Amino acid sequence: MEKERPVPRRREDLEIIRTSYKGSAAILVRDHLGLVDEPVLLQGEAAELFGLLDGRRTVRDLQIALVRSRGGQLVDSGLLEQIIREFDSAGLLHSLGYEARKNRLLAEYARLEVRNPSHAGASYPAEPGRLRAYLDAILEGAGEERPGGGSLSVVALIAPHIDLETGKKVYASAYRALGGLKPRRVVLLGTGHSLEDGVFGLTEKDYVTPLGRVTTDREAVGRLRSAGNGCLSSSDFPHRREHSIEFELIFLQHVVGSPFSLVPILCGSVSQHLERVSRPAAIPGVAGFLSELRRLREEDPSGTLFVAGVDLSHIGPKFGHRERAAALLLDAKAHDLALLRAFAAGDAPGFWAESRRVGDRYNVCGMSALAFLLEILPGATGSLLAYDFWMEEPTQSAVSFAAAVLHADRDKRGGGQ
pLDDT in tens, 162-200: 999 999 999 999 999 998 899 999 999 999 988 888 999
pLDDT value at residue 195: 86
| Percentage of the chain modeled with pLDDT above 90 | 74
| pLDDT above 60 (res 329) | yes
d(CA 357, CA 252): 35
pLDDT value at residue 1: 46
Query: Do residues 377 and 282 lie in contact, with contact meaning Cβ atoms separated by under 8 Å?
Result: no
| pLDDT above 50 (res 413) | no
Question: pLDDT tens digits for 238-279?
Answer: 999 999 999 999 999 999 988 999 999 999 999 999 988 988
d(CA 23, CA 18): 13
Least confident of 33-42, 218-227, 261-270, 393-402: 33-42
List, in order, residues 6 or more apart from 123 with CB less than 8 Å away: 163, 164, 243, 247
Fold of 114-413: Protocatechuate 4,5-dioxygenase; Chain B (3.40.830)
d(CA 319, CA 164): 20
| pLDDT above 70 (res 15) | yes
pLDDT value at residue 412: 44
What is the residue-averaged pLDDT of the chain?
A: 91
Q: 408: left (phi > 0), else alpha (psi -120 to 50), else beta?
A: beta
Query: Which amino acid is located at 234 in the chain?
Result: S
pLDDT value at residue 150: 53
| Percentage of the chain modeled with pLDDT above 70 | 95
Q: Which of 321, 340, 287 is nearest to 160 (CA)?
A: 340
> Residue 416's pLDDT band (boundaries 50, 70, 90)?
very low
- Residue 380's alpha-carbon distances to 158, 229, 255, 297, 376, in angstroms, are 14, 27, 23, 13, 9
Cα Rg, the chain, nearest whole Å: 23
- Range picked from 34-38, 55-59, 131-135, 192-196 for highest mean pLDDT: 131-135
pLDDT value at residue 2: 56
Q: How many helices (H) and strands (E) does the chain have?
A: 13, 14
- Average pLDDT of span 352-370: 95
* Strand 397-407 relative to strand 154-159, pairing: antiparallel
Question: pLDDT tens digits for 123-170?
Answer: 999 999 999 999 999 999 865 555 545 555 899 999 999 999 999 999
pLDDT value at residue 145: 54
List, in order, residues 6 or more apart from 346 with CB less than 8 Å away: 374, 377, 378, 379, 380, 381, 382, 406, 409
| pLDDT above 50 (res 417) | no
* Strand 24-31 relative to strand 14-21, pairing: antiparallel
Q: 10: which DSSP letter? A: B
Question: pLDDT tens digits for 196-244?
Answer: 889 999 999 999 999 999 999 999 999 999 999 889 999 999 999 999 9
| pLDDT above 70 (res 58) | yes
Question: pLDDT tens digits for 331-343?
Answer: 999 999 999 999 9
d(CA 218, CA 224): 10
Least confident of 21-25, 91-95, 166-170, 359-363: 21-25
- Average pLDDT of span 389-409: 92
- Average pLDDT of span 69-75: 81
Query: Do residues 141 and 101 lie in contact, with contact meaning Cβ atoms separated by under 8 Å?
Result: no
The reply to whether the predicted model has a pTM over 0.85 is yes
Three-state helix/strand/coil letters over 191-252? ECCCCCCCCEEECCCEEEECCEEECECHHHHHHHHHHCCCCECCCCHHHCCCHHHHHHHHHH
- Average pLDDT of span 358-375: 95
pLDDT value at residue 76: 86
Residue 44: how many other CB atoms lie within 10 Å = 11
